[in-house]
Each structure stands twice: as structure tokens, then as C-alpha cells.
Amino acid sequence: MSGGESVPGLEEALAAGLTEAEYGEIRKRLGRTPNVNELAMLSAMWSEHCSYKSSKRILAGFPTEGPQVLQGPGENAGAVAIGRGLAAVFKVESHNHPTFIEPYQGAATGVGGILRDVFTMGARPVALMNALRFGPLDIPKNRALLSGAVAGIANYGNSMGIPTVGGEVAFETCHSLNPLVNAFALGVAPVDRIFLARADHPGDTVFCVGAKTGRDGIHGASMASAEFDEAAEAKLPTVQVGDPFLEKLLMEACLELMRGDALAGVQDMGAAGLTCSSAEMASRGGAGILMDLDRVPQRETGMAAWELLLSESQERMLLVVRVGREREVERVFERWDLDAAAVGRITGDGLLRVRHGGGEVGAVPCRLLTDEAPVYERPRAAPESFPEPEVRAGELGEPADWNRAVLRLVGSPGLASRRHIYEQYDHMVRSDTIARPGGDAGVVRIKGTPLGLAMTLDGNGRYSLRDPRRGGALAVSEACRNLAAVGATPVGATNCLNFGNPEKPEVMWQLAESVRGMTEALGAFGVPITGGNVSLYNETDGEGIFPTPVVGVVGVLDDVSTLVRQHFVEEGDLVFLLGPDADDALGASEYLKVFHGRTDGRPPAPGLDAELRLHAALRSLAAAGISRSAKDLSEGGLAQAAVESLFAPDGSCIGASLALGDSVPATTALFGEASARALVSVRPARADALAAVAERHRVPARRVGRVGGESLRIRVNGDEAVGLSLDRVADSFLHGLARAARA
């Protein structure tokens, strides 16, 4: 080994985030002490972020198979067949820690990263979504984080020309120091043109393309695997600045290249940059890589080998080009005015060998960096408080004024319309968005086909905190219910598991129980997981987040003309409530939080069988053109669903009069969050048809009212409980979030 690299010891290994045992293991496997570059690569690749060492065993339990699955977990993104020779390629990924350090750039680069994961597979991105969690908006810092993150997401997605069609936002105290930003992207590719991140042909040339490499984000991977403390704010050099303009060019160049066959494999550069992308590609193909760092286009001078190896400069890709086809690649990138440098070649020795300054400065087996990284079975333990008691309406007392209660709830940051946020996202570019954000699911059509793709992100940290198994199942249930509401059939799911410190047995238990609940629901609905992301150590000064699994489900509409929207359409239409009677339960609900400041209690029981039947009924109603509107019941219960049904995206609105039965107390009837329910409106002439479909699927269907008028009226158990003009509802619901966010 030349290059005069100093040989670090245990102290450096610990500082780089390895444990003493891991360091010992590395020395044993290498048969020697790693030099500084090797240690840098190994510590980054053995970090939680890159190795999944705490979560790998748990993730193995997900269902990942199905006839439609073209690519399950293990690649940059998952892929499922959607008919007409096309594939949907999608994934969700977290950018939590970077967002806390710098909300605008942190969130923006999260979008950039997930887009690269999708176009790396050869798919043209057609839609974006994001799931956000911030602390309460009465704290100015949280307002700044929200507005910074939203502006960053907006700028990146808008500049790329990809519509952001959905997402979700929640506010909890635990996120004041640990905000979450999970970004989702979906692309479309011909099924036979999907590219993989794999290098298996020695002699092929490795290209580094896109942006130049600088010192940004170095150690991002190990940072994302460590808890925050005061000192973290001083770690200034980690901020990466996104350049959506450059990424747009990179995307177009890559997609152009992918129409031909010069590429053997391709991988974007994210965490641990060159190291991770090259080691993963080679190890998937059982090959090695020889890389000459001197040839990497650099933005700064005097970068050390380990800095080049770990840099997380954005908007870069590693391409493996079939030998002899290099000029083709160079020509495409020249046309797009982008750097494309041949930096190495594929070898047969299984090693990642690195040259710098004219000599070899490191050599590590690729598999030691990837598959052979450690995997842990960490201890798990349920908290003593589990299971939580039920919370019944009777023990809470009723609100004095139902009108004010409804206004307060639907105007609260957790439930108010998200338009303050999604109006900052271009959700119409590409002229394919046929269900705009604000509904249960965003839907984009595929021009030239009758197909539509529906998508949604869901997850409720309060539910998961109190019962992670239920929380996981409810997240999947709600996502699939959202898709059914628009008439779509779920074909695949992705997920982002946001949790605290896995070295705490309780956190490991939450993780395992969440995955168990998700798995049960995914199994019941027959939806495979095709990929995802795990973000652990979401803790600051020992304070962790609510366990927050975010589930993204993608569904297909075989005929977009059957799309059902969520808003009421016409005076005189009848409103039906589908699904089982509600329980008298308010545990972990929005109502309990907004009116009693409590996050405790048992979340609703997931009724997977009832869910499955409801989803089938909703799809049948859509396909047969019976339902004119459909809206699932979830957070905020029936009152919230009714309010959301009043407002159409074009700015129009229409009232409704509802009457609810007497099986549960009024509070639960209005605000209970029992699962497997939906509000559907039909023309009066189709009421019988609805009843027949509901009966066929054994779904209880009750007529609860009719559409029309200038107000929302709800009778509960015979009493006129709610009577609100549309103006008053609009003022709370449509503007509540903007008021809180700008305060």
C-alpha cells in the first residue's frame, strides 16, 4: 500500500462511529489494520444508515412477493407491473436530520435524492409526495422549520417539473427537535427497460457523472446514525446544497442514455457517496471496482482520498458503461453540458480498490462493505404502560357547543386543509394530475393509455406510540382505504420507518411491532412491499420521536374515467355511511388531543376483514359509476370527513344535512376514528344500486343524509348538534393551517 497514509487505531475507529467489537471484526476479516481511507469507507458502510444493522432482521418479515412485482426491496426503488407493458417505480426515503440542520436545503435534497432513486431505475418520475412531522406551530422555530422545509421541497420538485400530488403533515411536541421529512417519488418505465444497480462484467468502465464533488455532507451517513446533541449544530460542513436545475439535466441525460443499451448498471450517489454506490454495485454483481479518485471531477482543491470517497455532494450518479461504448455516454452528457468522467473499471477480484495521487490508497472487499456488514438482534421490550386503557366518551364529558367543537377541530393544524402547503407545490405540471392534492389519494393518469396511478402516504405516530402493532396495521389500512375511495386497486407499497434509538429495547420493540402490524395488514390486502427506508436515532438530548411508520401505497385505476373524487357534487344526492358501527373509543384520537391535550389511550382496533370488504365495495361502486363522491373516515372521524366533502378543488362548495344513529355517544359518533368506514354520495336513483353492492360485499350501509344547501347540518341521536354555514366552516377548515403557520 503506497500513498503514505497514516494508520489509525481504535480511537479513530470509535470516533468514526464503529464499536470496539466492530473494529476488531474489521481487523480480523481484513487480516490487518485498515488505513484511514479504508476505515472511512468501512465506518460509513457499517453505519446504521447504510447497513441497516438493527433493522435488517425485522424487515425480512415483510411480504415482498406478488405476480406484479418486478423488483422488490434491495434496489434503488421497487417496481411493479401496472398493465400495458408499463411499470410503476417508486420509493419513500427520509431526510430528517438534514432538515433539522437546514430545513430548506435538507428537505430539498431529500426530494432530489428520492428522484434519483427513481430515474436510476430507468423510470421517468411522474409524481411526488411527502410526509412531514413538525413540532407545534405556536413555537416560532417550528414555524420556520415548516416553512423552510416546504419551500425547499417546493423549489426542488417544481423546478424538476414533477407534480407533488399528495402527502401528509402532523404536529407533535416530540418533533420540535426531531422533525421528519419523508419524500416519495413515483416513476413510470416500460417493464422491459428497468435498469439495475449492478456491475458484473469485468472490463466495463465506471463513470462519475453530474455535479462535481466537493466536501459537502461528509460523514452524513454516520451522522444520520447518531443521536443529536448540542454539538451537532456545530458540525457545519455537513450541509448539502441542492441544485434542481442540474438534477433536471442529469435526469434528462440519464433517461436519454437509457433508451439505448450502453449502460450495464447505474446507481445514484446518496449516503456515503462514491463508496456506497461503487461497493453496492460491485457486490450485487459479484465483481470488484478499481477507482482512480484523481479523475473524479472536483469542485474544491486538495481533497483527501477519504473525503472524495465519502462526499455526499448532490446530483451525482455512478454509471457502469459497457466497454467500448464510452464515447456514446460522453456525447450525451456533453449535449446536456454535464461532467462525465471515466473514473474506474469493473474488475473480477471482488475488491474496491482506490487510487489517489498516483498510488493505491485502499483496498477492501466489496462484500465486507455491504452484505458482510454486521447485523444485530437487539433486545426488545414492551413498555410497562402497554397495553393502554380504552378512552370512552363518557369519561370525557361533552363539549358545551358542538358547532364550536367542530370548527375548532377542523381548523386545528392537525386536521385543517393542507392547501397552505400544497399550493406551494406545482401539482399540475405534466397535465396528467386528475386528482389534485387535498383528496384521499393523488392520481396521475398516463397519457396514451386509460391507466391512472393513485398514491397516498399515511402513518399516525400517536397510534403507533400507544400500540405500534395497531398503528402499523392502521397505516396500511388507511392507505389502502384511500386508494379504494378513488376507485384504485393497490399494487405495491413502500415504507419509511422513523424511530428513535434502536439501542433502547423499547424502541426495538416498537419497530418490530410496527412491522408486524404492517405485515398483517399488507398480507390481508395482498399488497407487497417493494422497498423503503429506515431512519433510526431520531432523538435529541435523549428525547425520541413517536414511532412513525409512514406507508406509501400505489394503486392502479384501469380506466381513469371511473375516478371518484371526494367532494359532494349535486344538490339532492344521498349520503351513505359504509362500514361497521363505530366503537365508543377515542384513544389516541385528534379529538382527545385537541380538546384534552392528551395523546394516550388505545388506538382503534384495525378490522382487517371489514376493511378488505369495504375496499372491494368502494372499488365496485366506482367501477360501476354508482358513487359520485367517496371519502374515507380517519383522523377527526365523521365530522372531518363530512367537512372535507364540502369543498371542491376548483373553489366551489356545497352543503349537506346528515343524521347519525344512536349506537354510540355523540362525541364518538362525530369524532371517533374507528376504521373501515367511508362516506359515499350517490344520485337518488342509484341508492338501490349502492345498497346492492354493499350487500354483495357484506358491508353495512346506512343512509345518513343528503347533499345540498348552504350549510353543514348534523343531527346526532335525534338532536340538532351541528348547524354551520359554509362560510364559517370554510374559514376554519380552509384557512386554519395558514393562520397557524404564519402566526
SS3 content of the chain, % helix, strand, coil (to 5): 40, 25, 35
**Residue closer to ligand ADP (CB basis): 534 or 724:** 534
Cα-Cα end-to-end distance for the chain: 61
Q: C-alpha dihedral over 683, 689, 692, 696, to 10 degrees?
A: -100
75 binds, among ligand ADP, Mg ion, another protein, none (CB under 5 to 8 A by kind): ligand ADP
Binding mask 37-76 toward Mg ion (x if CB under 5 A, else -) reads ---------------------------------------x
106: region left, alpha or beta (phi > 0 left; psi from -120 to 50 alpha): alpha
Tracing cell 422497498 back to the chain, one arrives at: 531
Radius of gyration, CA atoms only, the chain: 26
What cell numbers appear for 97 in the block?
436530520
Three-state DSSP state, 198: coil
The one-letter amino acid code at 635 reads E
Span from 79-87, 256-264, 457-465, 524-532 in contact with ligand ADP (CB under 6 A): 524-532
Beta bridge partners of 266: 319
Which member of 62, 333, 525, 647 binds ligand ADP (CB under 6 A)?
62
Decide: helix, strand or coil at residue 208.
strand
Least gap, CB of 427 to another protein (angstroms): 6
436 binds, among ligand ADP, another protein, Mg ion, none (CB under 5 to 8 A by kind): another protein
Footprint (CB under 6 A) of ligand ADP, residues 263-302 = 270
76 versus 681: smaller Cβ distance to Mg ion? 76
Which residue in 95, 427, 504, 631 binds another protein (CB under 8 A)? 427
Q: What are phi and psi of 614, to 5 degrees?
A: -60, -45
Residue 529 binding ligand ADP, by CB under 6 A: yes
- State the nearest-atom distance from the C-beta of 606 to another protein, in Å: 34
| Three cell numbers, residue 399 | 363539549
Cell readout for 76 is 434503488
Neighbours of 45 (CB within 10 A): 27
C-alpha cell at 214: 466537493
> Nearest approach, Cβ of 212 to ligand ADP (angstroms)?
21
Cα(608)–Cα(519) distance, rounded to whole angstroms?
12
Residue pointed to by grid coordinates 415504507: 495
Query: For ligand ADP, which is the closer residue by CB, 521 or 659?
Result: 521
* Nearest to another protein of 188, 666 (CB atom): 188
| Number of residues in the chain | 743
Alpha carbons 303 and 622: distance in angstroms, whole number: 59
For residue 513, the Cα-to-chain-centroid distance in whole angstroms is 19
Give me the phi and psi of 517, to 5 degrees please: -65, -40
Which CB sits closer to ligand ADP, 95 or 628?
Answer: 95
Choose, from 95, 175, 356, 420, the residue flagged as catalytic.
95
| Residue 362 backbone phi and psi in degrees, to 5 | 175, 150
- Give the sign of the dihedral formed by CA 182, CA 213, CA 44, CA 79: positive
Shortest CA distance to 464 belongs to which of 291, 599, 631, 613?
A: 599
**Nearer to ligand ADP among residue 218 and residue 654 (C-beta):** 218
The one of ligand ADP, Mg ion, another protein, none whose footprint includes residue 229, by CB under 5 to 8 A per kind, is: none
Residues 587-626 that bind another protein (CB under 8 A): none
Q: What is the DSSP letter of 675?
A: S
Q: Residue 295 carries which DSSP code?
A: G
Question: What is the DSSP pairing of strand 656-660 with strand 701-707?
Answer: antiparallel
CB-side neighbour CA atoms (13 Å) of 519: 14
Report the residue from 95, 248, 284, 619 that binds another protein according to the rule CB under 8 A: 248
- CA–CA separation, 225 and 272 (whole Å): 12
Binding another protein (rule: CB under 8 A), the pick from 245, 397, 572, 698 is 245
By CB under 8 A, tell whether 109 contacts another protein: no
Which of 300/543 has CB closer to another protein?
A: 300
Number of residues that bind ligand ADP (CB under 6 A): 17
Which of the residues 491 through 520 are near ligand ADP (CB under 6 A)?
495, 497
Residue at grid coordinates 364540502 = 646
Pairing type for strands 263-268 and 316-321 reads antiparallel
Q: Does residue 73 bind ligand ADP (CB under 6 A)? A: yes
The least CB distance from residue 553 to Mg ion, in Å, is 21
Q: Does 375 bind ligand ADP (CB under 6 A)?
A: no
Residues 621-650 that bind another protein (CB under 8 A): 649-650
The Cβ-side half-sphere exposure at 649, using a 13 Å CA radius, reads 18
445 binds, among another protein, ligand ADP, Mg ion, none (CB under 5 to 8 A by kind): another protein
- Judged by CB under 8 A, the residue of 161, 260, 359, 389 near another protein is 161
> Does residue 95 carry a catalytic annotation?
yes
* Nearest distance from C-beta of residue 125 to ligand ADP, angstroms: 15
**Residue closer to another protein, measured from CB, 57 or 430:** 430
**Piece of the chain touching ligand ADP by CB under 6 A; list 33-41, 72-80, 378-386, 396-404:** 72-80
432 is an interface residue for Mg ion by CB under 5 A: no
- State the nearest-atom distance from the C-beta of 472 to Mg ion, in Å: 25
313 binds another protein (CB under 8 A): yes
Task: Please report how the helices 402-410 and 726-742 are oriented relative to each other, as an axis angle in degrees rounded to 10.
Answer: 40
Number of Cβ within 10 Å of residue 722's Cβ equals: 25
Query: Looking at 447, 541, 597, 685, which residue binds another protein (CB under 8 A)?
Result: 447
Q: Which of 38, 48, 75, 117 binds Mg ion (CB under 5 A)?
A: 117
> CB of 124: closest distance to ligand ADP in angstroms?
18
61 lines the binding site for ligand ADP (CB under 6 A): no
Q: Is 381 in the site for another protein (CB under 8 A)?
A: no
The span from the CA of 540 to the CA of 244, in Å, is: 30
Which of 259, 299, 404, 696 is close enough to bind another protein by CB under 8 A? 299
Binding-site member from 85, 428, 684, 718 for another protein (CB under 8 A): 428
**Before 387, cis peptide (omega within 30)?**
yes
Q: Which three cell numbers stand for residue 712?
A: 353543514
| Buried-exposed string 687-705: b where 16+ CB fall within 10 A, e elsewhere | bebbeebbeebebbbeebb
Residue 530 to residue 347: CA distance in whole angstroms: 30
In whole angstroms, the minimum distance from the beta carbon of 572 to ligand ADP comes to 47
* Minimum CB distance to another protein, residue 637 (Å): 28
Closest to 101 measured CA to CA, from 244, 226, 16? 226
Q: Answer yes or no: are the C-beta atoms of 495 and 35 closer than 8 Å.
A: no
Q: Which does 502 bind (CB under 5 to 8 A by kind): ligand ADP, Mg ion, another protein, none?
A: none
CA 142 to CA 742: how far, in whole Å?
A: 11
Q: Of 265, 531, 547, 587, which lies in the binding site for ligand ADP, with binding defined by CB under 6 A?
A: 531
**336: contact with another protein by CB under 8 A:** yes
Q: Which C-beta is closer to Mg ion: that of 107 or that of 118? A: 118
Binding range to ligand ADP, per CB under 6 A, among 70-78, 226-234, 585-593, 667-675: 70-78
- Any contact of residue 182 with ligand ADP (CB under 6 A)? no
Interface positions with ligand ADP (CB under 6 A): 59, 62, 73-76, 91, 93, 117, 270, 495, 497, 529, 531-534
Interface positions with Mg ion (CB under 5 A): 76, 117, 268
Interface positions with another protein (CB under 8 A): 101-102, 105, 140, 151, 154-155, 158-161, 211, 214-216, 233, 236-237, 239-246, 248-249, 299-300, 313, 336-337, 419, 422-431, 433-434, 436, 445, 447, 560-561, 563, 649-651
Q: Which residues are catalytic?
A: 49, 95
